[in-house]
Structure 1
Amino acid sequence: MTTRADCARRAAEAGAAVAAESFQGELTVETKAGKTDVVTQADRDAQRRVADAIGESFPGEPIVGEEDATPTSVPGEGPAWVVDPIDGTANYVRGIRTWATSVAATVDGEAVAGATVAPALGDAFVLESGGAIRNGEAVTVSDRTDPETFVVVPTMWWSPDRRGEYADACRGIVERFGDMRRFGSAQLELALCAAGAVDAVVTNVETSPWDTVVGAGLVEAAGGTVTNIHGEPWRHDSRGLVASNGAAHDAVLEAARAPETPSR
């Protein structure tokens, strides 16, 4: 019997393969909600391939996705699948390799399995049976405890009328931690936190489930902590996302809340 983890992995690999065919080629780029919110035919084709792969093993189960007018809310009851065909499309259209195809399996609104496949980087992260796997090997969050050695990621992107909050989020990070990165793919940023490459990932904005569900599950499965902006257990419909190795989560929360108390 095909497990949900196996299905998520195979579906993510299939979608990633479709997207990889057009990567660094000629693309027609469209915009959605804003000038930097871009989409390509590769996004749509990859999502359809993912949906086909899921349907082969779990026909009739609802699919929540970013493209093709699929539902955008994760059902609170029963099984569902959450798909991001290209997480990091802005990178993808510029030929930057930091993008991935992500597929999550949820039951009653909670992630039970998932996969994030980044073909241009040669990485595949799988969430299965409570464990976090990278390229076939179990991973854990970092064991750093000194915030001054942490690398922290301000993830997601703020709308034009909230860019001041991004500056405040960066201030909150640089005042407390050793360094900062931003990769432009939330699923990969969270996967890197699960693998111990970065120590925390933060945002105070509302996130979409296709950007976060697999990654948040990976961090928790790897031994980390994931909360909302208030320090409460994170859900796909939470406001804000604060993920860390757990060693200094209070300090990470303070940084995430910096946009709530901006400097004057």
Structure 2
Amino acid sequence: MTEDARARADVALAAARAGSAVAESRFRTDIDVETKDGKTDVVTQADRDAQAAVVDAIRERFDADAIVGEEDDELKSVPEEGPAWVVDPIDGTNNYVHGMRFWATSVAAVVDGEPVAAATIAPALGDAYVVGPDGVRRDDTQISVAAETDPERLAAVPTIWWDFDRREEYAAACRAAVERFGDVRRFGCAQLALASVAEGAVGGTFTNVAANPWDTIAGVHLVREAGGRVTDLEGERWRHDSRGLVASNGAVHDAVLAAARETDAARDD
């Protein structure tokens, strides 16, 4: 890891901690909830304030870098050239507003569109996932993807979100996972789904939708650095502008990819 990448890893962790501290301070309190594009697409002032804390922490060291973020007026797409930061102040806001612990603050550093550092902090769970100079760690423990090669001994996670007009795909995703894997999980937080692949808790996670960069980039970097594989629906290396995301421990990737493709076959164009 270069000195610049080390510096970015330190800032990613510090910024994620700053944002998660703000979010945690409001967790399970009486907060106002607004909707954005649909009944399940919610946002709170905690999201905005947590993002502001993340941005402030980044600006202390990298004031000139572009910032891509879910809330407010930050960029909504990743620049193809130069350094940038990708921020999700609260991934899993629906969980957050219902008092469920499965939410996280994620920060990724990218250079020329490729991630070089990432941190995902889940304060309500007491977990911090970081890609740093010592590899991928959850708190003080080095982690890696599952070694298991039999998908029937692993769980799979349909992730991201199929809105009310795409429930056939949602049903297909669950069915495809059930038919291929030992069990199914759904966390309602894409970053924690990806972190769970990275730590070997599940075999894979998948979606056929075009995911937002703030929902994915940090977790994708965790999975890859922990020894896993992340592709698009064609089986090509995943990028921040890909449609679909298929992440696995590598050994069961074909099964996860088949589930994602079966999901996509239910799409009504």
Q: Which bracket does the TM-score occupy, shorter chain normalised?
A: over 0.9
Q: Does 1:154 align with 2:163?
A: no
Deviation at 1:136, TM superposition (A): 2.3
Tell me which amino acid in the other structure corresponds to 1:167.
Answer: A
Q: Does 1:41 align with 2:55?
A: no
**In 2, distance between residues paired with 1:248 and 1:188?**
19
41, 47, 58: which one aligns with 2:62: 58
Deviation at 1:128, TM superposition (A): 2.2
What is residue 215 of structure 1 aligned with on the other side?
219
What is residue 89 of structure 1 aligned with on the other side?
93
171, 178, 181: which one aligns with 1:174: 178
212, 224, 230: which one aligns with 2:228: 224
Deviation at 1:262, TM superposition (A): 3.9
Paired residues of 1:113 and 1:129 also in contact (CA < 8 A): no
Q: Secondary structure at the match of 2:63?
A: coil
Deviation at 1:6, TM superposition (A): 0.3
Paired residues of 2:16 and 2:107 also in contact (CA < 8 A): yes
What is residue 117 of structure 1 aligned with on the other side?
121
Paired residues of 2:203 and 2:252 also in contact (CA < 8 A): no
**In 2, distance between residues paired with 1:175 and 1:12?**
37
Paired residues of 2:12 and 2:109 also in contact (CA < 8 A): yes
Q: Secondary structure at the match of 2:205?
A: strand
**In 1, distance between residues paired with 2:232 and 2:134?**
21
Deviation at 1:138, TM superposition (A): 1.4
What is residue 188 of structure 2 aligned with on the other side?
184
Paired residues of 1:112 and 1:129 also in contact (CA < 8 A): no
Deviation at 1:59, TM superposition (A): 0.8
% identical aligned pairs = 63
Q: Deviation digits for residues 215-245 of structure 1, max 9, x if unmatched? A: 0110010001100011000001101000000
Q: Deviation digits for residues 22-45 of structure 1, max 9, x if unmatched? A: 100001000001011000000000
What is residue 30 of structure 1 aligned with on the other side?
34
Mark the CA change 1:130 to 1:62 in structure 2 (over 3 Å): closer, same or farther.
farther
The 5 Å alignment of 1:138-153 reads 138-153=142-157
Q: Deviation digits for residues 167-207 of structure 1, max 9, x if unmatched? A: 01111111111000000110011001100011100101110
Paired residues of 1:88 and 1:185 also in contact (CA < 8 A): yes
**In 2, distance between residues paired with 1:237 and 1:210?**
12
Deviation at 1:130, TM superposition (A): 8.2
What is residue 80 of structure 1 aligned with on the other side?
84
Gaps of 5+ in 2: none
What is residue 246 of structure 1 aligned with on the other side?
250
**In 2, distance between residues paired with 1:185 and 1:6?**
24
Query: What is the aligned length?
Result: 263
Q: Secondary structure at the match of 1:153?
A: strand
Mark the CA change 1:164 to 1:121 in structure 2 (over 3 Å): closer, same or farther.
same
Gaps of 5+ in 1: none
239, 250, 253: which one aligns with 1:235: 239
Q: TM-score, normalised by structure 1?
A: 0.97
The 5 Å alignment of 1:94-105 reads 94-105=98-109
206, 210, 225: which one aligns with 1:206: 210
**In 1, distance between residues paired with 2:43 and 2:100?**
15
**In 2, distance between residues paired with 1:188 and 1:46?**
18
Paired residues of 1:113 and 1:127 also in contact (CA < 8 A): yes
**In 1, distance between residues paired with 2:263 and 2:141?**
37
Q: Deviation digits for residues 34-72 of structure 1, max 9, x if unmatched? A: 011000000000000000000001112110000012110
Deviation at 1:117, TM superposition (A): 0.3
